[in-house]
A and B are shown apart, each in its own frame.
Chain A
Amino acid sequence: MITRRTFLGTTLTAAIASPAVVTRGLAAEQVRLCTALSLSGPFASAGQPAEAGTRLAVSALAKDYGLDVSLTMIDDEGNPGRAIPKLIVALQQGVRFFSGAVLSNVGLPMSAEVSNGGGVYVSSVGADEITGSACRRSTFRWPVPSYGAMRQTIVPLIDKHPETKRWYTITPKYVFGEAMLREAQNIFKERNIEHVGNSYHSMTETEFSGYLTNAAAAQADVLAILNFGPQSTNTLRQAADFGLKQKMKILLAWSAGTEQYAEIGSDVLEDVYVGAQYDAAIDSPGNRRVVELFRKNLNVTPSYAMVNGYVTAMLLMEGIKAAGSTDPAQVIKALEGRKYEGPTGDEELRAFDHQCIKNYYLLRGKAPTKKKDKDDYVDIISFGKSFPDAQHSDCKMT
């Protein structure tokens, strides 16, 4: 029999636990987010669009989540020595929710500091380690790491052009380039592809004609550029100048999206294969909503950098709402294994390593005459999800 006392007790407990009341409780408490991005320096070209996406996520979504959010933006200057002291100050001021970083050399120490400071970090960077050997309970990552980028570009390209048996690679000599090269070599071995050569170069190189001459002399069928950012733009531009597009297929395995395509130009990008985390033309309900939101609020077609900033901030707010609490431990628990409709379709924050399971795309540059609008640079050729499973992952969560 239900007594008046048990009825009141039960309904009160239920009311306290209900989302509406939780949301009202959260709204009373200001949620402080902090995003670190390269807003100045050579990588500001990626940081500034990401900032726009992050700000849009907060302004457009916080209300829907029933949150009162304040956003602090840190300029990481593409330099961990400058970024981490600013991050520590934010932690000391009580901020517990972090997103961002353009470069892995900022994202990796950021992950460690946020973990030490008892916060939650949704990362934007690409290095395998973030959800691999350096994974942490407090860190989640949205982009596909280099493993998936290699699998979802090289393999479909081999399948599409089985006649291409000789591949040449150009790789920056640092951790991200090495990781991509390692995985590319694994695939070449599996698929019986001859790796006819690799040119390493420094992170400050701007003149690639010598490396391209090596690739031409090796009579490769495919040139794979295992790099990102301004250097990869220069490599591609110079490869086109040297007539390599007429001699071989070219793959830029990790592109930055629309901003980079504009920098390269359609005349160079035509028929070049590029790997991408995101493209505005993705046909999914989640992406249609995101594209509409950006067009309505910022009057732009969103690029990868913008969407990366948007999604990482969105995930933090979604975790807080789902947890019904700003306690980082509760938010981490709420995000672990979370499935949601993201811009690339169904996405999931895998529980064992906190990696988002999402698609990676192989695109091909369009001819300038076939562009439908100024941002229409590429066609989607294929996409899919490739991630090391728990057995093969280097992540040992602590």
Chain B
Amino acid sequence: MSVNLLLTQIVNGLGIGMIYFMIAIGLSIIFGIMHFINIAHGAFYLVGAYLCYALVSATGNFWLALALAPLAVGVVAWLAEPGVRRLYDLPASLQILATLGLALVIQEAVILIFDPLGKNVAAPAGLRGAAFFGSFVYPKYRLFVIVFTAAVAAVLWFLLERTRYGAVLRAGTESMQTVELLGIDISRIFSLTFAVGAALTALSGVLAAPIRGVEPFMGVEALSIAFVIVVIGGIGSFTGALAGGLLIGVVQSVMTTFWAAGANIMIYVAMALIILVRPHGLLGRA
């Protein structure tokens, strides 16, 4: 294998990793702050992608979909959070059952509203095709996704590390009771966190739509990737989700050259190894 090919696969893996980070960060925040196992996380991704498809079909404007679809999912999640709240105190097994049911309802609703056939979502006109850098070729739209995701990550980092809301969230991952004793309205924090997590996941669905199309079962794939990244990065850790996403992306991409048939398996092997070495993830805390 040439060095050029290896470098190409690494760069490609970083691109995939940024998309994976976007899929996982919402789950990481919700899981980390609220200790709520949300199997319906993949459904937010699904709904975001389908809203993108519907808006692009209706208006032909991808940018409108990029702005409106996450906002719509975030608002619905914010409104729905008080209803979901009663699940927080239930055992993990019941949380899984309830949210799995919700995920299936959303998936079947998508089939009823649209149909089971996959749909194509075209990338915006200026971002179609590939950019050529000598022998290195990369899709323009994926380059946009990397830059856009990096910008979203920077904003998120600022929000989580440099604002009062972020400080409350970070404190919440350590001890929610302490935060509550400090006089902070925890229910508002939960609503906002749930809405932000859902909106970010829907945003990843919108970004993924022109790359892989939309189909009713895409949420399942997103959920499994998100859980792997959250476990690898550490629950509730922003930088952990970023590191986990990039690591998984690079492992998957590079392995397609060494052992293509096992590229997917290696994602889970990497997860198992990290759990063995660092049970709380790369950047998670005990």
Which A residues are closer than 8 A to B by beta carbons? 40-42, 44-45, 48, 173, 199-202, 204-207, 209-211, 213-214, 216-217, 230, 233-234, 237-238, 241-243, 246-247, 259, 262-265, 267-268
Given A199-B256, A200-B260, A201-B263, decide whether A263 and B213 contact each other with a Cβ distance below 8 A: yes
Report how far A330 CA is from B113 CA in the complex, Å. Answer: 45
A260 nearest CB neighbor, chain B only:
B118
With A201-B263, A209-B12, A243-B129 already in contact, the answer to whether A216 and B137 are too (CB < 8 A) is yes
Are B260 and A265 in contact, CB atoms less than 8 angstroms apart?
no
Which residues on A sit within 8 Å (CB–CB) of B138? 242
A–B pairs, 6, beta carbons within 8 Å: A199-B256, A202-B263, A210-B12, A213-B257, A241-B130, A264-B120
B9 within 8 A of A: yes
- Select which of A45, A201, A210, A259 is within 8 A of B257 by beta carbon: A210
Residue of A with least CB distance to B118: A263
A209, B9: Cα distance in complex, Å: 9
Q: Is B274 an interface residue (CB 8 A)?
A: no
B260 touches which of A41, A42, A201 (Cβ 8 Å): A201
Which residue of A44, A173, A217, A243 is within 8 Å of B130 (Cβ)? A243
Quick one: which of A44, A211, A241 contacts B141, CB cutoff 8 A? A241
Shortest CB-to-CB span from B207 to chain A, Å, is: 13
Instruction: Verify B141–A214 contact, CB threshold 8 A.
Output: no
**Residue in contact with B16 in the complex, picked from A173, A207, A230, CB distance below 8 Å:** A207
- Nearest-Cβ distance from residue A69 to partner chain B, whole angstroms: 26
Q: Which 9 residue pairs across A and B have the least CB separation, nearest first?
A: A210-B256, A243-B130, A44-B116, A241-B139, A265-B120, A200-B261, A199-B260, A263-B118, A210-B253
By a CB distance below 8 angstroms, the chain B residues around A241 are 123, 129-130, 139, 141-142, 211
Among B12, B15, B120, the residue within 8 A (CB) of A263 is B120
Contact yes or no, A210 B9, CB < 8 A: yes
Q: Is the CB of B9 within 8 A of A242?
A: no
CB-contacts of B1-46 with A (<8 A): 2, 4-5, 8-9, 12-13, 15-16
Known: A173-B261, A230-B215, A263-B120. A214 touches B137 (CB 8 A): no
Given the interface contacts A202-B261, A213-B8, A217-B8, does A45 sit within 8 Å of B116 by beta carbon?
Answer: yes
CA–CA, A199 and B259, complex, Å: 8
Q: Which positions 248-266 of chain B face chain A at CB distance < 8 Å?
A: 252-257, 260-261, 263-265
A204 contacts B264, CB within 8 Å?
yes
State whether A42 and B261 are in contact (beta carbons under 8 Å apart), knowing that A213-B5, A237-B212, A263-B119 are contacts in the complex: no
Tell me whether B117 and A263 are in contact (CB under 8 A): yes
Expressed in whole angstroms, the minimum distance between the Cβ of A301 and any Cβ of chain B is 15
Alpha-carbon gap, A45 to B111, bound state (A)? 10
Residues of A within 8 A of B221 (CB): 204, 206
In whole Å, how far is B260's beta carbon from the nearest beta carbon of chain A? 4
Q: List the A side residues contacting B217 at CB < 8 Å.
A: 41-42
Cβ of B285 within 8 Å of any chain A Cβ, yes or no, is no
| B120, B141, B252: most-surrounded residue (chain A CB, <10 A) | B120
| Given A44-B111, A48-B116, A206-B12 contact (CB < 8 Å) | no
Known: A45-B115, A48-B115, A263-B215. 18 other contacts (CB 8 A): A42-B215, A45-B118, A200-B261, A201-B261, A202-B265, A206-B221, A209-B15, A210-B252, A210-B256, A214-B257, A214-B260, A217-B2, A238-B139, A241-B142, A243-B137, A265-B120, A265-B122, A267-B122
Residues of A within 8 A of B213 (CB): 233-234, 237, 263
Q: How far is the CA of A217 from the CA of B9 in the complex (A)?
A: 10
Q: Name, among A48, A205, A209, A262, the residue most crowded by chain B CB atoms within 10 Å (CB to CB).
A: A209
| A47, closest chain B residue (CB) | B116
Contacts of A217 in B (CB 8 A): 2, 4-5, 8
| Bound-complex Cα distance A243 to B129 (A) | 6
A238 to B129, CA, bound (A): 10
| CB-nearest residue of chain A to B254 | A210
Other-chain contact of B253, A200, A202, A209 (Cβ < 8 Å):
A209
Chain B positions within 8 Å of A264 at CB level: 120
Q: Closest approach, in angstroms, between the C-beta of B128 and any C-beta of chain A?
A: 7
What residues of chain B lie closer than 8 Å to A40, measured between beta carbons?
Answer: 116
Shortest CB-to-CB span from B268 to chain A, Å, is 11
In the bound assembly, the distance between CA atoms of A376 and B263 in angstroms comes to: 37
Residues of chain A within 8 A of B257, CB atoms compared = 210, 213-214
> Which residue from chain B places its CB closest to the CB of A211 in the assembled complex?
B256
CA distance A41 to B107 in the complex (A): 10
Interface residues of B in 154-187 (CB under 8 A from A): none
Nearest chain B CB to A170 CB, angstrom units: 9
Residues of B within 8 A of A201 (CB): 256, 260-261, 263-264
Q: How far apart are B218's CB and chain A's nearest CB, in angstroms?
A: 8
Residues of B within 8 A of A263 (CB): 117-120, 213, 215
Q: With A204-B264, A209-B253, A234-B213 known to touch, is A243 a contact of B118 (CB < 8 Å)? A: no
Alpha-carbon separation in the docked complex, A186 to B175 (Å): 65
Q: What separation, in Å, do the CA atoms of A262 and B215 have in the docked complex?
A: 13
Shortest beta-carbon distance, B129 to chain A, in Å?
7
Complex Cα–Cα for A230 and B216 (A): 11
Q: How far is the CA of A197 from the CA of B118 in the complex (A)?
A: 29
Smallest beta-carbon distance A27→chain B, Å: 36
CB neighbours (8 Å) of A45 from chain B are: 115-118, 215
Mask, B35-75, CB within 8 Å of A = 1, is 00000000000000000000000000000000000000000
